[in-house]
Structure formats: C-alpha cells, structure tokens
Amino acid sequence: MAGLACFDFDWSLIDTDSDRFVIQSLSPELRRKLDTSPMQWTDLQNECLKDFYDQGGSGQVVRDALTKVPLDPDMIKACQLLHAKGWTLVIVSDANSIYIDGILQHYGIKQLFSAVITNPAFWDSQDRLHIQRLIPADAPPHGCPLGICSLNICKGQEIDKLQKQLRQQNSANKADGSTAENFAPSQRMLYVGDGRNDYCPALRMQSSQDIYFVRKGRSLEAYLEKSAPNIRDAIKARIILWTRAADILKVVQEIA
C-alpha cells in the first residue's frame, strides 16, 4: 500500500544545511554574517548572495558548491525504492528551488520527485541568484495556530494544499479514463524530518500505519521530548528515530 512520502531537505534528504553550506563555500565572512544577523532567514540568504555578487562573485561558484553537498547513497536507494514501489515523493523545505534542483540534478534523482515545495529562487540576467520567501512579507500571513512554523512557510498547510491537488488530479484522471499515476487520499504517508518546522506537517498523519522519521539529536527530537505531553501525544504516526539514511532504507525495504 503505497502513499505520499514527504522529505524535508536540509539534514533530512541531504546531510547538511544547504543554506549554510553554500554561503560557507562562498566566503567565511558571509557565513559569519549568516550566523549573526537578526534578519529573517530567507531575506538574509538573498542578502548574502547579493553581497557575494557585489564583491565580484560568480554564479558558477554557487553552482559548483551545490555539487559538493553531501547526500548519503542509502538515501538515494531509499528514494529509488519508494518510487519503484509506487510512492509519490515530494520535498517540503525552507531551502530554495535553485539549491534543491541543482543538488537533485547532480545526484540524478530529480525525476523521482513529483513536487518540490520551497522558497522560489531564480538567476537574473547578470547571473546573480535571488531567493524569495514562499509567502512574501507583504502577503497575508499563513496564520498557523501552532506558532512554531517559520513566517514564510507552514509545512503543514503546504501538505494540506498538496494533498488536495493530488486528490483533484486523481479524480481528473479517473474521469478521463487516464492510466496516469493515481493518488488516493486514503493512502499511507511517511515524513522524514529533523527540525521543529517538521512538526506541523506530521499532524497530517492520522494513522499508526503512517511513519514519522525523526532525526536523532536535532531540534525536532528535542521538541517532541518537551514536557508538554500533548506535543508527542498529538502524533498518531509511528515515530522512528533515525541517525543515518541506512536506518530509513531498512524500513523502506520492509514496507509495501
């Protein structure tokens, strides 16, 4: 029984934080700015890339950095296996579309993913990379009642939208007799995450058949261990703590 497999990107699909990794490879000085500025995170990324460009930095250096981002071969195997078993793979991330695209392409796994929900980014005609917030600063706020989601993205609401889209596609496919890949809303869900903003989407998993892969030693695990008992109790999915991609691959090999 396949379903929807959602991956956070930084420290989940890949073994680093892509924002910090790229800026660090551009300039240690910009990395210091990144670690110390109070500016909103996505705006700060954009600002650091602007500084780099203003200092004469080339877009190629950014693209080269993307090819050095570590991704565990077992994570690739887990994604390939899920895809082969008929799961719909998606990424829900607070990184940006250019980094994610570049890294997936470098590892040759872009075609495995049906959707990438993240902050939009683009190269301008001067070969400078711009990164924007998924929810712009002047747009209505997402209003998630949890209060732990980032200003620019509530991954829970993004998963809601995605599931609605997939259901619509599914009924459209049925209506025209198409044999295209179908997605039934009753199917299972699995979610791979490591950060506090990976908590909200996990509330969309309503069954003990669903699996919540929580990375050990990172902020999501600490959040789940908070003394407030309703935090962990609200999770209906089976929680599996993981350290390496091999832990996920092992579970993926066992599920249908």
- What is the secondary structure of 170-181 as a DSSP string? HHHHHHTT--S-
Angle CA(53)–CA(55)–CA(60) in degrees, nearest 5?
A: 45
- What is the secondary structure of 81-104 as a DSSP string? HHHHTTPEEEEEEEEEHHHHHHHH
CA-wise closest residue to 133 among 104, 90, 89, 97: 97
Q: Is residue 8 annotated as involved in ligand binding?
A: yes
Beta carbon of residue 92, minimum distance to Zn ion (angstroms, whole number): 11
Of Mg ion, Zn ion, none, which one does residue 195 interact with (CB within 5 to 8 Å by kind)?
Answer: Mg ion
Would you tell me how many other CB atoms lie within 10 Å of the CB of residue 250? 14
Q: Is residue 127 annotated as involved in ligand binding?
A: no
Structure token pair of residue 45: 């990324």
Question: Among positive and negative, which fits the CA dihedral 195, 196, 201, 204?
Answer: positive
CA distance 108 to 100: 12
Q: Is residue 19 annotated as involved in ligand binding?
A: yes
Contact stretch for Mg ion (CB under 5 A) within 128-136, 194-202, 221-229, 241-249 = 194-202
Beta carbon of residue 84, minimum distance to Zn ion (angstroms, whole number): 32
Q: Hey, which residues between 190 and 229 contact Zn ion (CB under 5 A)? A: 200
Of Mg ion, Zn ion, none, which one does residue 19 interact with (CB within 5 to 8 Å by kind)?
Answer: none
- Does position 26 bind Zn ion by CB under 5 A? no
Q: Which of 13, 65, 154, 249 binds Zn ion (CB under 5 A)?
A: 154
Catalytic residue check, 210: no
**In the block, residue with structure tokens 């670690």:** 35
Q: Which of 48, 149, 224, 248 binds Zn ion (CB under 5 A)?
A: 149
Q: Which of 76, 144, 240, 255 binds Zn ion (CB under 5 A)?
A: 144
Q: Which of 57, 156, 195, 201 binds Mg ion (CB under 5 A)?
A: 195
Residues that bind Zn ion in the complex, under the rule CB under 5 A: 144, 146, 149, 154, 156, 200
The binding site for Mg ion (CB under 5 A) comprises 8, 10-12, 194-195
